Structure 1
Amino acid sequence: MSPPNPVRRTRRRGLLTALAAAAAAAALVLGMTTGASAATLLSDDFEDGNSSGWTTNGGSWSVATDGSRVLRQSSTSSDARALAGTASWTDYAVQARVKPISFNGSNRFVAVLARVRSSTSYYYLALRSNNTVELKKLVGGSSTTLDTASVGVSAGSFYTLRLEVAGTTLRGYVNGALLTDASDSQWSSGRVGVATFYTSASFDDVAVTTGGGTEPTPTATPTTEPTNPPQPNAADGWASVSAWGQNGTSGGAGGSTVTVTTAAAFLSAIAQSGPRIIQVQGMLTLPGPMHDVTSDKTIVGLGSGSGLTGGGLNIGLPIDDDITAPPADAVHNVIVRNLNFRGWPDDAINVQMFSHHVWIDHNTWTTGTDGGVDIKRGSSYVTVSYNHADGTDKNMLLGHDDDNGAQDTGRLKVSYHHNWFDDTNQRNPRVRFGDQVHVYNNYYNDTGNYGVASTENAGVIVEGNAFVNVDDPFHLGEASSGPGRIVARSNCFTNSGTGEAGGSVSAVPYSYTLLPCSQVQSTVSAQAGAGRI
C-alpha cells in the first residue's frame, strides 16, 4: 500500500519492401519476443494503388480508390481468395489488418491463409461473425477445425490477424492476443493469402516475416505522425528494451492458453510456473487485497466487460528492504491487458521488488481504496499504455518512499503513454528517483490536484500530452519530497496552467512515434481502456 500524500495545488511501400518496414509490422505480435530479428518475405500496404503479385480466386477484388488504399473484396455472394508469395516458403508469420464490411448470413468469416498448396488446400485463421476465431485447415475443400476461441467480432471494425507456422506448430493471434494454437503436419510449406466467406472485407498492411536478418538499432528520436498512429499490439517503450537478462516483454507466449471464468481458476492460473496465457471471461470477484502473479504470464480479458473486482494483482516478490540489486528470481515478463478493475481494497496493480519487463495496456480502473498502478522498490522496464483511469484518487505512484534510494536510484524506468487520466486527482504519475521516466501522448482532463510530480532527483520527460482543465499539469517536488527534474516539450494546455519544469533528462533509448498534442484528446479518449484493442 502506498503512503498518504498531502494535497498540493499550485506509410508506406508496396510488395516486397525493405526490412525495416517488415520488422515494424512483426512487432505488432504479442506472442513474439520484442527485439527478435526478422527477415521480410513480403510486405504490401497497397499504397501504390495496385495488387501486383496477388492472384485471386472468386469474389470481386480491387485496390480501393476512395482514399483508403486497401485491398477490398466487395462481393458477399461466395467464398473468395487472394494469394501471394511462393510455394517454397516454410516457417513464417503472415499478418494483416482485416475489416469485415458486411456478412451475408450467419457464421461467415474473413481469414488469413498460410502454407497454401492450392485454392482448396491450406491452413487458415478465420474471424467469424458468430464471435469466434478458428484455426483451421482446408484439405481438398474439406475443412477441419484445429482450435477455436471466443472473441468479439463486428462489421466495420479493423482486426489484426496473425497466423504463425513453424514446423508442426500453428498459432493464431487476434489484435496481438494468442487465442488459438495447434499442432499439425499436413503441409510444411506454401504461399500466403487472405480470404472471405460470404463476406465483403478490406485487407491492409499485409506482412510476412521469418527469422534472420539484422535487428534495427533503436533510436531516441521520435517521429511525429500527422494522423492517428495504429495502437501497438506488442510491448513498446521501456518494456521493449532488452536488459536484466530479458529480451523485451512477451508474457506467456509459447505457453498454453487457458480461459478462466471463476476466481478460483484465475488464482490457480496466475500462480502456476512457466509461460501461460490466461484469458479472463466475465467479471471475477476476488478476495482482497492482492494476489501474486508469477513470471511469463499474459493476463488478458475477453471482450469489453471482463475483469476483476474486490482484489488486485501483485507482480513481485515479498518486500525485503535488505535487497538492493535485482535478484535472479525477480518476477518478470508479465502482460496485463484489456481488464476492468473495480473495488480493489489496496492497489489494482502493484509492481514491486525489482520486477521487470511488465506491460500494462488497455485496462480500465475506477475508484478503489489506493493506487490504480503502483510501481516501486527497484522495479523497471515497465510500459503503462492506453489505459483509462476513471475518477481514481491516488492513481499511479512510481517510487514509494523518499528513503528508498538504495533500491530505486538508477531504476524505475517506466513509459506512460496514451493513457486517459479522466477526472483523476493526483499521482499521474508521482515519481521518486526514476530516470528516465517517459510521459507522452497522455490525455488529462479535470485533474483535481496535480498531474505529474517529479521528486527526489527523478528525471521525467513530459512530452506531447494534452491537458484540459488542469490547474497544475506538472511540477517539481511534492509534499516533503525534494525536487526532481522535468523536461517538458510539445504539450497542449486548454484552460490549464503551464506547468513547472527544470533540469535535464537524457533521451530514452527506444524509438517511438509522437502524436501531435492537438490530436491527443480525440485519439486517446477513443482508444484507451478495456474493449478497445
Structure 2
Amino acid sequence: MSISMRAAPRRRRLAAALGAGFTALVVALGATWFGGTAYAATLFSDDFEDGNSTGWSKSGGSWSVTADGSQVYRQTSTGADAKAQAGATWTGQSVSARVKPIAFGNSTRSVGVAARLQSLSNYYSLVLTGSGTAQLRRVSGGGVTTLATATVAVSPGTWYTLRLDAFGSSLTGYVNGTQVATATDSTFSSGRIGLMASYAGAAFDDVTVSDTAGPGTPTPSGSPQSPSPSPSSSPPPPGTCNTGGTPVGFAAVNAWGRNGTTGGAGGATIEVDTAAELIAAIAQTGPLNVCVKGLITVPAGMHNVSSHKSIIGVGSGSGISGGGFNIGLAIDDAITSPPANAVQNVIIRNMVFRNASDDSINVQMFSHHIWLDHNDLAQGYDGLIDVKRGSSYVTISWNHTHHHAKNMLLGRDDADDLQDTGRLKVSYHHNWFDETPQRNPRVRYGEPVHIYNNYYFHNTDVGVACQTDAGCVVEGNYFESVEEPVSNSYAGPGGRCVARNNVYTGNEPGAPDCSGTVEEPSAYYGYVLDNPADVKAIVMAGAGVGKI
C-alpha cells in the first residue's frame, strides 16, 4: 500500500539566504561537560550540500561548488594563488577539512587549510605540497616561513583529512588523524579560517571549526597518559549488564534469512574495561554479550564488530572515546546484493560515544538486523550514526545526539544506486535530535524509511532531508524551533516523503516540504504511535543512557 500527500508551501528561510549547508553556531554558554571532559563547540561547518558557497569570500583562481560523490568546493586553476576565507574572528580554533589535490602547478605548489587568518597575507596554514610533504607555515605580510615539515605521500585525486589546531601559541597539524607537525608561534592570536590552493587545483569538503582540539591531540606535558592497548594475559571476567530488550521497527522484521535481532543471545556474558579487551571481544566469532565498564579510550579509527554481538554499557557513564564501531564487511563496489557473510544481528545499547576520529557508528556493506538503542553520542568527527551501502533492517531508537553538526546519514551518496536501491530500510523512533544542525537523518534511496515519535530541537539547517529517490514516512514527531523540519528538495536529486500528524512549534516553526507516494511501514511491522503532543516529554525523559 502507498500513501501520498500534497506538498506544503515552502517557507522562505534566513538559512536559505545564508546557504543551508553553511552553519555558524554562536555558543553562548561555553563548553558542556560530561564526566570531566569538555565537549568542543562547533563554531562553523560547511559541507556544501546546499549547492552554493554563500559565506565564503574568495581571491584568485576559479572556484565553484560541484558534484564529486557529494557536493564539494572546487578550485581548478593551477595559475593563481587561490584562497577562500569564511567564519568569524576566533581565538582558539581547530580547523578541519577533507582536501583532494587535483593538480599541482609544480612540485612546490600546495593545497591546505588556514587558521587565524587575519588577511589573505597573514595567517597560519597546514598544506600538502606536490613534492610529498606536509608543511606547517606562517604567512606574514605575504612572506612564507615553514615552521615544521614532514614527509607525506601525496597523490592527486586522493582525499586527505587535514586538521590544524591553534590554541595559545601551540600549533599542531594532522593528516588523516595522525600528527605530522607541531610548532610554537605567537604572531597571530585570532582570525578567520581559510582554504588554500596555491597554484594548484583542489577540492574541499566537510569544513568544520571547533573551539577545542579534536581527537588525536597529544596529552599535554605532565598530564597522565593512557597506555596503548596490549593483549590481555587473561580472559575478561563474567559481566553483568542488561542484555534484555526487543526492538520495534525494521530490526524486528523477518527478512534476509533472519527473524528479528537478538545480538549475543545464547552466548557468554563478559565484562571489559580496557581497549584491548573490548576490541578483541567485539571481533570474536559467535554470539557474545559484552558489558562495557567505564569510558574506554580506544585507538583512533573504526573497530570492527562481528555478527551476533550485544555491546551494552554498564550504568550511565560507560562507552568509548577516540574511535568508533564499524558494523560491516570491507567496502567492495562490485558486490551489489547481500552476501552470505554480511554482518548481522548486532545490538549496541546504553553506550556513550565521544570524540570519534571518524564515524561514531558506521553500518555498511549489506549489514542487517542491527539495533542501536539508548545511546548518547556527541562530538565525533564525521557522522554519529551512518547506515549505507545496502544495509537494511535497522532500528535506531531512544538515542540522544548533541554537540555535533552531521548527525545521521542514510545512503552514501547520490551515485550509490546499485547497492542501495530497494534497501536501506531503517526505523528511527524516540530519538532526541538536540541542536544537531543537519542529517537528522539525511536519506538517499531507502524506502520505506520510517521516522516517528522523535523530538527535534533547534536543528538550524534541516530536520529530515529525504533525497535521491528515497521514500520517507515522517509521523508523530515533535519539531521545536526547526525552520525546515522535513524536505524532499533540500539538496541534490529529490526524494518522496509523507509528513503527517507532526507538531511544529517554537521560534519560527517551519512547515513540511513533502510530496510523492511512499510505501507504508505497516506493510512490514506493527507499531503504536505516541501522541505527538507528548513526544517531547516522553523522549527527554527516556532517551539516552541510564534508561534501560
Aligned-partner Cα distance in 2 for 1:310–1:254: 31
2:240, 2:270 within 8 Å by CA — same for their partners in 1? no
Asked if 1:522 is matched to 2:537, the reply is yes
Partner of 2:116: none
Aligned-partner Cα distance in 2 for 1:452–1:5: 17
Question: Structure 2: 5+ residue runs without aligned partners?
Answer: 1-45, 53-236
1:8, 1:478 within 8 Å by CA — same for their partners in 2? no
Shift of 1:449: 0.5
Partner of 2:284: 272
Partner of 1:475: 487
Aligned-partner Cα distance in 2 for 1:439–1:381: 14
From 308, 313, 323, give the equivalent of 1:296. 308
Shift of 1:5: 4.7
CA-to-aligned-CA distance 1:206-246 (integer Å, 9 cap, x gap)? xxxxxxxxxxxxxxxxxxxxxxxxxxx21110000011111
Shift of 1:391: 2.2
Partner of 2:520: 507
From 357, 365, 368, give the equivalent of 1:353. 365
From 297, 305, 316, give the equivalent of 1:285. 297
Aligned-partner Cα distance in 2 for 1:309–1:321: 30
Aligned-partner Cα distance in 2 for 1:374–1:397: 5
TM-score calculated relative to the size of structure 1 = 0.58
Shift of 1:320: 0.3
Shift of 1:289: 1.2
Please state whether the residue corresponding to 1:269 is helix, strand or coil. Answer: helix
CA-to-aligned-CA distance 1:102-143 (integer Å, 9 cap, x gap)? xxxxxxxxxxxxxxxxxxxxxxxxxxxxxxxxxxxxxxxxxx
Shift of 1:4: 3.8
Asked if 1:493 is matched to 2:536, the reply is no
Q: Tell me the amino acid that sits aligned with residue 441 of structure 1.
A: N
Asked if 1:399 is matched to 2:411, the reply is yes
Aligned-partner Cα distance in 2 for 1:445–1:493: 11
Aligned-partner Cα distance in 2 for 1:529–1:483: 32
Asked if 1:254 is matched to 2:269, the reply is no
Aligned-partner Cα distance in 1 for 2:319–2:298: 10
Please state whether the residue corresponding to 1:531 is helix, strand or coil. Answer: coil
Please state whether the residue corresponding to 2:499 is helix, strand or coil. Answer: strand
From 327, 334, 349, give the equivalent of 2:339. 327
Please state whether the residue corresponding to 1:514 is helix, strand or coil. Answer: coil
Aligned-partner Cα distance in 2 for 1:335–1:8: 37
2:240, 2:291 within 8 Å by CA — same for their partners in 1? no
Q: Tell me the amino acid that sits aligned with residue 482 of structure 1.
A: P
Aligned-partner Cα distance in 1 for 2:404–2:428: 16
2:238, 2:270 within 8 Å by CA — same for their partners in 1? no
Partner of 2:83: none
Please state whether the residue corresponding to 2:545 is helix, strand or coil. Answer: coil
Asked if 1:484 is matched to 2:527, the reply is no
Matches within 5 A, 1:307-318: 307-318=319-330
Q: Tell me the amino acid that sits aligned with residue 486 of structure 1.
A: C
Question: Structure 1: 5+ residue runs without aligned partners?
Answer: 10-146, 152-173, 179-232
Aligned-partner Cα distance in 2 for 1:395–1:7: 16
Shift of 1:150: 4.8
Shift of 1:501: 0.9
CA-to-aligned-CA distance 1:350-374 (integer Å, 9 cap, x gap)? 0000000000000001111110100
Note closer, same or farther for the CA distance 1:276–1:148 as it changes in structure 2 (3 Å cut).
closer
The count of residues paired between Structure 1 and Structure 2 equals 315
CA-to-aligned-CA distance 1:366-421 (integer Å, 9 cap, x gap)? 11111010000000000000000012211000001111100000000000000000
Note closer, same or farther for the CA distance 1:4–1:327 as it changes in structure 2 (3 Å cut).
farther
Partner of 2:56: none
Q: Tell me the amino acid that sits aligned with residue 261 of structure 2.
A: T
Q: Tell me the amino acid that sits aligned with residue 6 of structure 1.
A: E
Aligned-partner Cα distance in 2 for 1:307–1:280: 6
Aligned-partner Cα distance in 2 for 1:5–1:378: 25
Shift of 1:6: 2.6
Shift of 1:478: 3.2
Q: Tell me the amino acid that sits aligned with residue 464 of structure 2.
A: V
Note closer, same or farther for the CA distance 1:5–1:377 as it changes in structure 2 (3 Å cut).
farther
Aligned-partner Cα distance in 2 for 1:275–1:406: 31
From 474, 477, 480, give the equivalent of 1:465. 477
Q: Tell me the amino acid that sits aligned with residue 318 of structure 1.
A: A
Shift of 1:433: 0.2
2:344, 2:369 within 8 Å by CA — same for their partners in 1? yes
State the 4+ residue runs in structure 1 displaced beyond 6 angstroms.
none
Aligned-partner Cα distance in 2 for 1:447–1:252: 35
Please state whether the residue corresponding to 1:412 is helix, strand or coil. Answer: coil
Identical-residue share of aligned pairs (%): 53
1:8, 1:449 within 8 Å by CA — same for their partners in 2? no
Aligned-partner Cα distance in 2 for 1:423–1:8: 23
Shift of 1:7: 4.6
Q: Tell me the amino acid that sits aligned with residue 399 of structure 1.
A: G
Shift of 1:514: 0.1
Q: Tell me the amino acid that sits aligned with residue 500 of structure 2.
A: R
2:239, 2:290 within 8 Å by CA — same for their partners in 1? no
Aligned-partner Cα distance in 1 for 2:490–2:274: 42
2:362, 2:385 within 8 Å by CA — same for their partners in 1? yes
Please state whether the residue corresponding to 1:513 is helix, strand or coil. Answer: coil
1:7, 1:449 within 8 Å by CA — same for their partners in 2? no
TM-score calculated relative to the size of structure 2 = 0.56
1:456, 1:477 within 8 Å by CA — same for their partners in 2? no
Aligned-partner Cα distance in 2 for 1:412–1:256: 31
Q: Tell me the amino acid that sits aligned with residue 445 of structure 1.
A: F
Partner of 2:224: none
Partner of 2:187: none
Q: Tell me the amino acid that sits aligned with residue 282 of structure 2.
A: I
Note closer, same or farther for the CA distance 1:148–1:345 as it changes in structure 2 (3 Å cut).
closer
Note closer, same or farther for the CA distance 1:5–1:256 as it changes in structure 2 (3 Å cut).
farther
| The 10-residue stretch of structure 1 (502-511 or 518-527) with the greater mean CA deviation from structure 2 | 502-511
Q: Tell me the amino acid that sits aligned with residue 397 of structure 1.
A: L
Q: Tell me the amino acid that sits aligned with residue 372 of structure 1.
A: L
Aligned-partner Cα distance in 2 for 1:270–1:447: 34
Please state whether the residue corresponding to 1:522 is helix, strand or coil. Answer: helix
Please state whether the residue corresponding to 2:448 is helix, strand or coil. Answer: strand
